[in-house]
Amino acid sequence: MSFTSLGLSAPILKAVAQKGYDTPSPIQAQAIPAVLEGKDVMAAAQTGTGKTAGFTLPLLELLTRGNRAQAKQVRALVLTPTRELAAQVAESVETYGKNLPLRSAVVFGGVGIGPQISKLGKGVDILVATPGRLLDLFNQRALNFSQLEVLVLDEADRMLDMGFIHDIKKILKVLPAKRQNLMFSATFSDDIRKLAKGLVNNPVEISVTPRNATAKTVEQYIYQVDQKQKTAALIHLIKQNDWKQVLVFSRTKHGANRIAKNLEANDLTAAAIHGNKSQGARTKALANFKSGEVRVLVATDIAARGIDIDQLPNVVNFDLPNVPEDYVHRIGRTGRAGADGQAVSLVSGDESKLLRDIERLIKQKIPRKEVEGFVPTQVVAETDLNERKHGQNRGPRNANGRGNGRSNSGSRNNDSRSSASRGSSRNDSRSDSRSDSRSESSQGGRVEHKDGQRSGDSARGHKPNDSNASHSRRSSGSQSRSGNSASSAATKPSSNSSIWGK
């Protein structure tokens, strides 16, 4: 099968050919015809398999058939969870639509809103946006959705995991009820699927790979290294293997800064990217990394779904992620579009549980090695893939003595629910810029929050100490109210349908 058989027009096919593509990936081969037929689509595939082109190509084709956008109007809206991903999707739209008479724009927080308002004033056929900045613009009457034809939720699971449910609800309320809905993501959890089915109407469901599977083109290794030796081991591996382009993932922003500084001190050009960096600094770091000016990019998980680099050869997990699904998205930055890649994880003995959760998630043991000259003093425990004990993968007990269902440091569902119960709806630029300042390791009683995530009580900086009686009473009362909210929400399952605008 070739792209010419999918019903795309000559200008789009020309742009695709100029990118060097002639054969669609499995997700593209199934999604493009369905979108062109005007059907709602739920599509899941591994990171790096061409999901973005899977909706941008047919979206561009559909929009060429209708009337151009009028002033302040938007014909197609693409929502993404992070600035980096928004920029990546916008670049794809521009690349494949360069031969078409369509206007597109991208809006996100962290940059001036004035130029965005000016561009929207002319009307755009495709708008790529993060939820918070989109609401800011709508509230300032900078755009109108009465002409909207298509809504796309890209990385929908991540968007909801990060706590954007309130923003999504507000956006859906102002969109026309009659529209085409597309959901594209690397994974769809059971909860996300339930919500999705309240958004899409009789969707075509596409899944070309098992959930939480890793790409076969990615060669995975674990190097057992003591925590204090990780930086030296990383430097040794980069130099010994002559890695020219390396993406390193750190669990925290301070860790990312420290790693980059140590690499620079050892004659390895490096840059850090995380939520405390300005948007300009983040964009520059990515550009320098893509051009080869920077050899090593050290990132927190904000970049896990926002970096798209052709033939990126090496990904290193300096720290294992607290949420096992993030491992899949991290290593999905390499081995993209059928190219080979290598994913290396530096694992210390105290990360055995994190490794166990990852290996059980991907249903395979990752081959283990040792770095020459860095023999660990603490061995990483072996994973029993068949062991299924009651309560496995449960996080630390919460204040009520009940398991959270996931590590507190991941705090995905828990924080989403707690923020929902309080009606928190901060915009994406504020949340994105502050989130990594909360992203400290869960060790020592601190809780990690992913970049851009809406936060619950545990992320607000001050945690009452039980030694203060008044604090204890207030904390207890807060927990009681939170529990009541959760109970109330649990008795209204039908509300999931209404929030998606059905």
Inter-CA distances, 129 with 44, 133, 159, 164, Å: 21, 7, 12, 13
Report the domain count for the chain. 2
Q: Which residues pair with 106 in a beta bridge?
A: 128
Same domain, 33 and 161: yes
Q: Is the model more confident about 378 or about 400?
A: 378
- What average pLDDT is seen over the chain? 78
CB-count burial class (<10 Å; 0-12, 13-18, 19+) for 33: middle
pLDDT in tens, 201-214: 888 988 876 565 56
Looking at 329, 347, 369, which one is the last position of a domain? 369
Residue 456 belongs to a domain: no
Minimal CA–CA distance to 53: which of 8, 102, 84? 8
Same domain, 170 and 226: no
Looking at 158, 178, 207, which one is the last position of a domain? 207
Could you tell me the two tokens for 242?
């002559």
Amino acid identity at 323: V
C-alpha 146/C-alpha 231 separation (Å) is 54
**152 near 59, Cβ under 8 Å?**
yes
Structural Rg of the chain based on CA atoms: 23
Place of tokens 């055995």: 352
Looking at 149, 183, 207, which one is the last position of a domain? 207
Identify the three-state secondary structure at position 270.
Answer: strand
C-alpha 163/C-alpha 498 separation (Å) is 18
**175 near 145, Cβ under 8 Å?**
yes
**75 near 150, Cβ under 8 Å?**
yes
Place of tokens 């290294």: 225
Residue 382 belongs to a domain: no
- With a CB cutoff of 8 Å and minimum separation 6, the contacts of 463 are 445
Could you tell me the two tokens for 61?
């084709």
Confidence category of residue 304, pLDDT binned at 50, 70, 90: low
Same domain, 163 and 140: yes
Same domain, 278 and 325: yes
CATH number, position 130: 3.40.50.300
Range of the domain at 51: 3-207
Lowest mean pLDDT among 235-249, 347-361, 393-407: 393-407
Amino acid identity at 157: D
Show the 3-state SS of 326-379: HHHHHHCCCCHHHCCEEEEEEECHHHHHHHHHHHHHHCCCCCEECCCCCCCCCC
pLDDT of residue 107: 97
Amino acid identity at 68: R
pLDDT of residue 166: 85
Element (H, E) at 255: helix 253-265
**251 near 300, Cβ under 8 Å?**
yes
Specify the pTM: 0.63
Residue 270 belongs to a domain: yes
pLDDT in tens, 445-498: 343 333 443 433 333 334 444 444 444 444 444 444 444 444 444 444 443 333
